[in-house]
Every structure is written in structure tokens, then in C-alpha cells.
């Protein structure tokens, strides 16, 4: 590598003959690439190469410790795998129920925290954001105590007002409900912060003009706040969609995907195959199925949001 | 964002696996048997183990071992159970870097690791271990062999199964545990206890474990796989076991304890009257519920038909030498000392609650002593009796997959009211689908 930082683009006085000048390594054109080189090299090693390699791996299977080419076997196995569909179904339910629920909450919290009459804003903001910062392992230990069927606080409250105790982590659809509650608890604050930033970009003039025209607070919310927030909402929506397909920590620590796969998510399923059963070929195939689904959903969301403009 | 971490982790592991999967060589597998003169062997070895085993190795084994082999220095690293597997996976995938000389490993995980990394573990048969084979139960030796039939791990502790029961609750309900011989007797007793005391007979971590099913299968000489490694769930024995579990659920004597902590809490708080499980529960009981001393006893595992086998094994771990070890001689001597030495094995049980797989110690007086915690019963003698009868089963490297499917289907049986036939059908299909094995 040649460094010629000392020589700049003005050759006068440098003693070099014009035309014979060596090609300089650092020029205005190459400088951005040089500055980006460290991150690009790391990105290639830790992202690009593994991404390409996992594509190859998804066409391989392991025989006595050696990976051999297996064609589309992993993918045809995936298409016939009922547990994969179960995990996909769970992720879809979370997408359809949890994401709108969480974003609605996040918008309401953001609007409340943005209002001028609220005292102790900082305290509330930290309070709502703190679940994001909490170690989920610690939180899930506490959740499991709270949700215990026989001695948990939740069931103590429920039974003391005359209802039957609920098997939060075992009965019927409750484990999935629990998962939705915990995921919402954890990520609503995160989305709230993003939305709050969006809210603060909305010009006060709009609200002023609306108040002068006699629009109620509710009307202002639906006709000013929401439309103005749309680009930010779209971002949070797409991120939450991707997040719900990558949901891992919460089911891993709370339920391990059980009982009978009722809280199994796609990422948890690929983790099981990759890291518990060492079947990296199949795990890679699941990964690419997830990638495909998320890509399609994101395109659909962009299109839907774009058409309304 | 944090959620991307897992994805990245997977990709990095793939990278390592890809870069190094062909890097393992077999040349290191040729090692001479260790020297007989303790003073001659020298060097440093590193050992990984978790929880009780780590305590046993560091407090009991290492002082005694270094007294005998003064020139061998042992570095003990206590690492959590799950972390050991993650670190082993990464290290083996990287062709043996960053690995210890000796590591603890659960016997039921061994086949999965050996199949993934066939050359990662040192064969010990020809290093001198063959002379100890008769001192261990046959079922355990079978479980620590590699694909070529060579022993690759030193069996350490075992999980012979009996039924722990609450003496006071049984007395209160007027049930005599010696009358419980079959699972039908067990269920009948459970109904009486539930009726008179309101206490459930058995706790089950539904959705988290398949222990009770594996115990019931093994005592009948069956498992999820047959001797050839074919899926073997469509059997009379499986149907019988599932039907009994279903009956326990329908008669209301089974309490869903959800997870490990729930099970411990249920036992501590007197919500369950029995726990048919492995001897290692005694360690947890002594540790977490000392106030129940004298209130627990044991009786043999119920059978399906009179004259049936009362024995099963649940759990147990082993020490294994990694092929990447630079000092295999010292590693062998240490592992042998820790697993096939009468004095050490007795102390493992006495001081650390680890039930030895080394049969040769079962005749020692300690095994015949009455245990104060267990209602002054000689419980360890009873567990030692169980060991002799444990039927060998074939775990195969698909063990963990099969156990997950069985755990799921057990939840379907108990929580969704699926019939045993339906459960068997689903198990067979899913196991075949997930493992690619043939099914009977």
C-alpha cells in the first residue's frame, strides 16, 4: 500500500514532472472507500461471508460429522414439516395481534408523554423505557413467579375476585397470550421512544390552526397527529414485523416454546435445530424461509402505505 | 438491535464450522497407555465441569490427586451446564481450540456430540480403561461408546430411579407404601391421598420434560429407538405408559408444575406426595428443603405387571478427554482417578450427593447406613439395587430430537386430551420427519 498523504493534488514545487506523475492512492475519489474499509471488511467477514455460506449450507446435510451436498432435501423437508407450520402460525398470530396492540399502546403513551400538562415527564419516560434495558432473564424469572398457577400474584388477584386460576404457562391458548403480554411489556416502550421523536417533529402551528378552527383534541389526534406520524409509524410497524418473526429471547426464557409447541417461534425452532441438534443445514433452510417471508411482508407494507399518499 | 444477535451468532458459528470441519485429524488418537510411576507424569491439565460435579472435582478429587501425582497441575474451571455445551460446540467446530483437556458431559448428550464431531473425543478403551469396564453397569458403558464401539468417556454419576414419598402425608391418608407394587396400586393410593389430604400424588413439568415417560418405557426395556436405531414408539409398552399417565391426569392426582422451580416449590410446599425420579433429587431436597428432613422416604418404582422390572435410569454424566488435549496421559490419569476409585466415589456420594456409576463401591458400609433425612431408611442401598437391574437402551444421536417430540406429545396427551393412539401416531410421524430415521 502506498500512502501519499503529504503529496496533495497540487504538484507545483514537488519536483515531479507533469504527466509522469504516479497515480495517487489517496484521492478525493478513494478517500470515502478508505474510510469505510474497516467496517466493510468486518461486514464482509461477519455478515456477507456467513450469509453466502449459510445459503450453501442449506443445500447440505450432515453424514457422520461431514457435510455433504443434499440438493433441495432440506427445503422439501421444510415444506412437509408440521412443526414449522405451527411455528409460522404462532409468529403470524403474534404479528396480527401483538404488533397492532403494542403500537397502539406505544402511540397512546407517546402522545400522553408529549402533552404539555404532564408533570414528571422524565420519570415516566424512563419508566416506560426501562423494560427495554432490563435483562430479560431476570425479568422472566420474575414473570414466572408472578404467573405461577398455584402461588403467583396474578392468580392470587384473579382468584380473590372470584375467578378460576389461569394456567398462564400451560393451559390452552394462555401461554401464547402470556408471550404476547410479555413481548408487549418489553417492546412498547422502545417503540414509544421512536414515536415520541416523531411527535416532536410535528409543527405546533398545525395544532394551533386546528384549535382556532374549533377542532377537538380527539379530532386533532386523528386528523393531525396520526397522518403526520405515518412515516414513523411505518418504520416501527416494519421493525415490529421483523421483530415478531425473530422473536426468540422471550419464548426461550419463559416457555422454551412449549407446551406442545404452542409458543414456538420460527427463530426458536431454527435455534433448536442449529444449536441443540447440530443440524445446521436444516437450520439454514429455516433461516431462508424466514428471510423470504419477512421480505414479502415488508414489500407489502411499503406498498400499502405508499398507495395512500 | 439485540434481536439480530442470535442471527449473527448462528452465522458466525456456521462460518467456524465451515472453516474447520475438515480440520480435525485422527493422528492424535494414537496415545500410549499411561506410565505406572506417578512421579514420572507431569504437566498442566484443564478441566471443565458444572455444579455438584465441579465441587466434587475441586474439593475432593484435586487435593487427593495432586498428593498422588505431585507433578500434574489441574486447573479446574466451573462453568454452567449450558455454557459448557456452547463452548464445546464452538471449540470442537474450530478444530479443538480453546478447549480443556477433560470435560464433564451429560451421558444423554454424548451421542449427539460424538455424531457431530466424531474425531473430537479421545478413545480410552486402549488407554487402560478396558480393565474397569466390569466395574460399571452395562447400560452405562453402552451409552458412552462411540460409533465404532470404543469407550470415549468415564461414567461418573448415575440416575437410578425410585419413588420419593412423603411419609407424613401417606400416614395421614392411611396409605401403606409397601402395598404399592404396580402403577395401578400407585394410582389407587393417589386417589385416597387426594381425597383425604387434598395433596396431589405426582407433579409433572408438562411441556418441559418427558422423564416419567422415559422411565416407564425403560423399565419395560423399551425406548424411543430400538437396538438398530429405528424409531420404536408404536409399541404395546408405549401405549401402556401413555394410558397410565393419562389415567393419572384424569383422576386428578397429577399436578402440573410447569418447570423445574415449580416442581421444587410443589415438593417443598407439600403440594405433591411423591416424586418418581432419579437419586440426584436427594441433593436438591437436602439443599432446598432441609426442614423436611425425616419426612421423605423411598419405595421401589411401581411396575406394569407383577414381576416386572422396578428399575430405570434418568440422567447421569461422564468425563471425557478431548482429542485436542496436549497432555492426554495426565488427563487420562485424572479422569480415571475421579471415576474409578473407591475412595473418591464414596466421597462423591457422602459429601456431594452424586451417586456413583462405579459399581465396585456399592458394597461399602456407607451404602447400608440409614439416612436420617430419608426417614432412617438405607436409601442408597435401595438405589444401588436399582442400578443392577437397569435395562440398557439405545439413545442414538437423535435422542434430543426424539425427546423434544415426546415432550410435546406428552403435553398434547395431558393438556389437550389427545388419546394415546393419536399421540403415538403423531410421535411416530414427527420423529420420522425430524430425524429421517425409519419407524417400526
Q: What is the mean pLDDT of each run of 10 residues along chain B (440 residues)?
A: 52 50 42 66 92 91 94 92 86 86 92 85 91 90 87 94 95 94 96 94 86 94 92 95 95 87 89 93 87 94 91 91 93 95 92 90 91 92 91 86 91 90 94 89
Q: What is the pLDDT of residue A66?
A: 74
- Confidence class of residue A276 from pLDDT cuts 50, 70 and 90? confident
Does B160-313+393-435 match B34-159+314-383 at the fold level?
A: yes
Distance from C-alpha of B30 to C-alpha of B18, rounded to nearest angstrom: 26
With 0-12 / 13-18 / 19 or more C-beta atoms within 10 angstroms meaning exposed / middle / buried, residue A110 is buried
- Indicate the pairing of strand B72-78 with strand B102-106: unpaired
Q: Across the interface, which of B4, B11, B408 has its CB nearest the CB of A261?
A: B408
Helices (H), B96-166: 110-116, 138-143
Helices (H), chain A: 31-43, 49-57, 73-79, 82-93, 99-114, 121-133, 136-147, 153-160, 174-199, 204-212, 217-220, 226-245, 249-254, 266-271, 280-307
Beta bridge partners of B303: B182
Contact B308, B19 (CB under 8 A): no
Neighbours of A58 (CB within 10 A): 24
Test mutation, A69, A85, A150, A166, chain B, max B CBs within 10 A? A150
Interface membership of A256 toward B (CB under 8 Å):
yes
In chain A, ranges of CATH 1.10.3720.10 domains = 76-307
Rounded alpha-carbon distances, angstroms, from residue A75 to A59, A82, B63 = 8, 13, 54
Closest Cα partner for B198 from A150, A156, A172?
A150
**Percent of chain A at pLDDT above 70?**
91
Q: What is the pLDDT of residue B8?
A: 58
Tens digits of per-residue pLDDT, A123-178?
Answer: 888 888 899 888 888 888 888 888 887 778 999 999 999 888 888 887 778 999 99
Could you tell me which residues come within 8 angstroms of residue A295 by beta carbon, excluding any fewer than 6 positions away?
A: none
Tens digits of per-residue pLDDT, A61-78?
Answer: 877 667 889 889 999 999
Partner-chain contact A258 B271, CB within 8 Å:
no
Distance from C-alpha of A62 to C-alpha of A84, rounded to nearest angstrom: 20
Considering only alpha carbons, which residue of chain B is nearest residue A60?
B18
Q: What is the pLDDT of residue B405?
A: 92
Q: What is the average per-residue pLDDT within A213-224? A: 88
Surface of B (141-200) touching A: CB under 8 A:
147
pLDDT, averaged across chain A: 85
Interface membership of A53 toward B (CB under 8 Å):
yes
CATH of region B160-313+393-435: 3.40.190.10
pLDDT at residue A14 tops 50: no
Tens digits of per-residue pLDDT, A87-121?
Answer: 999 999 999 999 999 999 999 999 988 887 778 88
Return the CATH architecture of domain B34-159+314-383.
Answer: 3-Layer(aba) Sandwich (3.40)
Distance from C-alpha of B53 to C-alpha of B157, rounded to nearest angstrom: 9
Interface membership of A165 toward B (CB under 8 Å):
no
Contact B204, B255 (CB under 8 A): yes
Rounded alpha-carbon distances, angstroms, from residue A60 to A267, B17, B217, B385 = 20, 13, 35, 47
Q: What is the average per-residue pLDDT within A224-242? A: 90
Return the CATH architecture of domain A76-307.
Answer: Orthogonal Bundle (1.10)
Distance from C-alpha of B409 to C-alpha of B238, rounded to nearest angstrom: 12
Beta bridge partners of B158: B316
Q: Which three cell numbers stand for residue B143?
A: 451409552
User: What is the residue extent of each domain of chain B?
Assistant: 34-159+314-383, 160-313+393-435
| HEC readout, A59-80 | CEEEECCEEEECCCHHHHHHHC
**ipTM > 0.85 (yes/no):** no
Q: Which three cell numbers stand for residue A236?
A: 416501527
Q: What is the pLDDT of residue B392?
A: 85
Closest Cα partner for B235 from B395, B436, B437, B427?
B427
Could you tell me which residues come within 8 angstroms of residue A37 by beta carbon, excluding any fewer than 6 positions away?
A: none
Amino acid at each position: 500500500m502506498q500512502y501519499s498523504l503529504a503529496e496533495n493534488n497540487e504538484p507545483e514545487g514537488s519536483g515531479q514532472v507533469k504527466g509522469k506523475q504516479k497515480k495517487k492512492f489517496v484521492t478525493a475519489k478513494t478517500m470515502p472507500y478508505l474510510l469505510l474499509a474497516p467496517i466493510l471488511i468486518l461486514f464482509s467477514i461477519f455478515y456477507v461471508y456467513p450469509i453466502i455460506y449459510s445459503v450453501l449450507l442449506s443445500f447440505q446435510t450432515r453424514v457422520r460429522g461431514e457435510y455433504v451436498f443434499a440438493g433441495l432435501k432440506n427445503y422439501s423437508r421444510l415444506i412437509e414439516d408440521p412443526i414449522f407450520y405451527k411455528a409460522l402460525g404462532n409468529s403470524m398470530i403474534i404479528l396480527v395481534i401483538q404488533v397492532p396492540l403494542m403500537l397502539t399502546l406505544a402511540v397512546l403513551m407517546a402522545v400522553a408523554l408529549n402533552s404539555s400538562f404532564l408533570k414528571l415527564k422524565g420519570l415516566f419516560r424512563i419508566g416506560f423505557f426501562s423494560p427495554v434495558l432490563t435483562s430479560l432473564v431476570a425479568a422472566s424469572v420474575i414473570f414466572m413467579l408472578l404467573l405461577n398457577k398455584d402461588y403467583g400474584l396474578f392468580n392470587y388477584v384473579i382468584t380473590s375476585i372470584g375467578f378460576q386460576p389461569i394456567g398462564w404457562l400451560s393451559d390452552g391458548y394462555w401461554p401464547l397470550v402470556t408471550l404476547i403480554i410479555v413481548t408487549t411489556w418489553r417492546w412498547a416502550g422502545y417503540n414509544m421512544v421512536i414515536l415520541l421523536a416523531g411527535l416532536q417533529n410535528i409543527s405546533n402551528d398545525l395544532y394551533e390552526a386546528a384549535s382556532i378552527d374549533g377542532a377537538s383534541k380527539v379530532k386533532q389526534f386523528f386528523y393531525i397527529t396520526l397522518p403526520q406520524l405515518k412515516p414513523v409509524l411505518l418504520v416501527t410497524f416494519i421493525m415490529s414485523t421483523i421483530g415478531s418473526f425473530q422473536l426468540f429471547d422471550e419464548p426461550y426464557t419463559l416457555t422454551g416454546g412449549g407446551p406442545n409447541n404452542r409458543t414456538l417461534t420460527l427463530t426458536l425452532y431454527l435455534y433448536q435445530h442449529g444449536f441443540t441438534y447440530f443440524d445446521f443445514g436444516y437450520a439454514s433452510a429455516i433461516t431462508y424461509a424466514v428471510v423470504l417471508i419477512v421480505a414479502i411482508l415488508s414489500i407489502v407494507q411499503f406498498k400499502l402505505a405508499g398507495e395512500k399518499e | 438491535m439485540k434481536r439480530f444477535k442470535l442471527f449473527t451468532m448462528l452465522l458466525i458459528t456456521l462460518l467456524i464450522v465451515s472453516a474447520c470441519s475438515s480440520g480435525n485429524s485422527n493422528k492424535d488418537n494414537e496415545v500410549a497407555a499411561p506410565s505406572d510411576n506417578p512421579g514420572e507424569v507431569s504437566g498442566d491439565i484443564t478441566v471443565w465441569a458444572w455444579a455438584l460435579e465441579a465441587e466434587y472435582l475441586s474439593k475432593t478429587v484435586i487435593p487427593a490427586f495432586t498428593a498422588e501425582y505431585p507433578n500434574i497441575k489441574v486447573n479446574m474451571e466451573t462453568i454452567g451446564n449450558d455454557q459448557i455445551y456452547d463452548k464445546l460446540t464452538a471449540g470442537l467446530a474450530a478444530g479443538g481450540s480453546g478447549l480443556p483437556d477433560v470435560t464433564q458431559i451429560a451421558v444423554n448428550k454424548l451421542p449427539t456430540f460424538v455424531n457431530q464431531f466424531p474425531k473430537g473425543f479421545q478413545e480410552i478403551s486402549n488407554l487402560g480403561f478396558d480393565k474397569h469396564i466390569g466395574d460399571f453397569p452395562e447400560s452405562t458403558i453402552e451409552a458412552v461408546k462411540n460409533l465404532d464401539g470404543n469407550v470415549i468417556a468415564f461414567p461418573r454419576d448415575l440416575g437410578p430411579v425410585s419413588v420419593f414419598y412423603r411419609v407424613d402425608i401417606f400416614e395421614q391418608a392411611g396409605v401403606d407404601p409397601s402395598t404399592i407394587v404396580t402403577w395401578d396400586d400407585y394410582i389407587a393410593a393417589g386417589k385416597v391421598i387426594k381425597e383425604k389430604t387434598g395433596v396431589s400424588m405426582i407433579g409433572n413439568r408438562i411441556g418441559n420434560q418427558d422423564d416419567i415417560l422415559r422411565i416407564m418405557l425403560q423399565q419395560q426395556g423399551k425406548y424411543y429407538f430400538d437396538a438398530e436405531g429405528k424409531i420404536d414408539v408404536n409399541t404395546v409398552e408405549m401405549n401402556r405408559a401413555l394410558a397410565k399417565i393419562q389415567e393419572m391426569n384424569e383422576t386428578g392426582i397429577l399436578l402440573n408444575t410447569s418447570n423445574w422451580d415449580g416442581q421444587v416449590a410443589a415438593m417443598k410446599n407439600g403440594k405433591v406426595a411423591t416424586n418418581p425420579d432419579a437419586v440426584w433429587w436427594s441433593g436438591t431436597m437436602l439443599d432446598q428443603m432441609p426442614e423436611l428432613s425425616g419426612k421423605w422416604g423411598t419405595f421401589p418404582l411401581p411396575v406394569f405387571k407383577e414381576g416386572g422390572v422396578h428399575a430405570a435410569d434418568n440422567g447421569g454424566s461422564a468425563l471425557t478427554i478431548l482429542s485436542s488435549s496436549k497432555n492426554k496421559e495426565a488427563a487420562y490419569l485424572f479422569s480415571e482417578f475421579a471415576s474409578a476409585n473407591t475412595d473418591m466415589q464414596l466421597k462423591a456420594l457422602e459429601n456431594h450427593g452424586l451417586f456413583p456409576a462405579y459399581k465396585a463401591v456399592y458394597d461399602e458400609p456407607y451404602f447400608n447406613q440409614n439416612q436420617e433425612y430419608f426417614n432412617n431408611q438405607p436409601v442408597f442401598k435401595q438405589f444401588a439395587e436399582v442400578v443392577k437391574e437397569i435395562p440398557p437402551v439405545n439413545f442414538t444421536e437423535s435422542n434430543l430430537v426424539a425427546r423434544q417430540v415426546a415432550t410435546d406429545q406428552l403435553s398434547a396427551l395431558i393438556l389437550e386430551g389427545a388419546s394415546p393412539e393419536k399421540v403415538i401416531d403423531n410421535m411416530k410421524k414427527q420423529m420420522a420427519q425430524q430425524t429421517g430415521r425409519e419407524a417400526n
